[in-house]
Amino acid sequence: MSDGFDDPTDFAVVGTDTGVGKTIVTAGLVGWLREAGVDARAVKPSQTGHPPDDDADFVVRACGDDEAATCLRRLEPALAPAVAAERADVDLSYESILSGCRDAMADAEVGVVEGIGGLRVPLADGREVVDLVADLDVPALVVARSGLGTLNHTALTVEALRARDVPVSGVVLNEYDGASTAERTNPDVLHEMLDVSVEQLPSLTIDSPTVAVDGISEHVARSVVPTKSRL
């Protein structure tokens, strides 16, 4: 299908928490796929804290293409979508989020859904991020912190996904510098615990969003991108 990517499929990028680097990884992977000739598009189900936060815009700027990302709903309060919608007195339904994601993914060769915070973040109508990933029936890539504490958070996240029959294509430990014993040992321990590939993405100086694409292509294996043959 493309240079170096064997039949990639839709997938989700989820995190163990907020601020772990989901947007950087999403931007990097979408940009990498698009450079390889795949019509990939990031899909943000809901953006809270807007402005200034705008993850879809970061992906667009990283890829240099307005078609590289879309955001279904933007909300001002920097809270979970369900809470932000209630505080802003805005109608937000889970079905609208689910159908919007499906439509946006159908318009691209590969849709990459970026999660919001961790898996248990409330979206709408009592549904959470983990419900959305399961209902979309896509595999997931987990983004986690590199240092002390990530074994527990990452293992619980992978366990929650597998409990919903969501395949996990891999784990990316973000801002990996190897400065502590925990950082240096975590990749091997997680691989043994979870039986998935564990990649290390070093700290990137984001003076430009395009750094995300270069960083991913240089430091992360292509195998983290799910393919139809491996599902």
Annotated binding residue 170: no
- 23 annotated as ligand-binding: yes
4 is in an annotated binding site: no
Q: At residue 111, what is the residue type?
A: G
Judged on CB neighbours under 10 Å (0-12, 13-18, 19+), 155 is middle
Instruction: Cite the DSSP H helix spans in the chain.
Output: 22-35, 55-63, 81-87, 94-106, 129-136, 150-163, 181-194, 210-219
| CA–CA distance, 145 with 151 (Å, rounded to integer) | 9
State yes or no: is 44 an active-site residue.
yes
| 21 carries a ligand binding annotation | yes
Cβ neighbours, 10 Å, residue 128: 23
The response to whether 55 counts as a known ligand-binding position is: yes
Q: Confirm whether residue 37 is marked as ligand binding.
A: no
Catalytic residue among 34, 44, 61, 73: 44
Q: Does 24 show up as a binding residue in the annotation?
A: yes
| Cis omega (within 30 of 0) for bond into 52 | yes
Say if residue 60 carries a ligand binding annotation. no
Would you say 116 is a known binding-site residue? yes
Peptide bond into 51 cis (omega under 30): yes
Residue numbers in the known binding site for ATP are 19-24, 55, 114-117, 174-175
What residues are annotated to the active site?
44
Residue numbers in the known binding site are 19-24, 48, 55, 114-117, 174-175
Residue numbers in the known binding site for Mg(2+) are 23, 55, 114
Residue numbers in the known binding site for substrate are 48
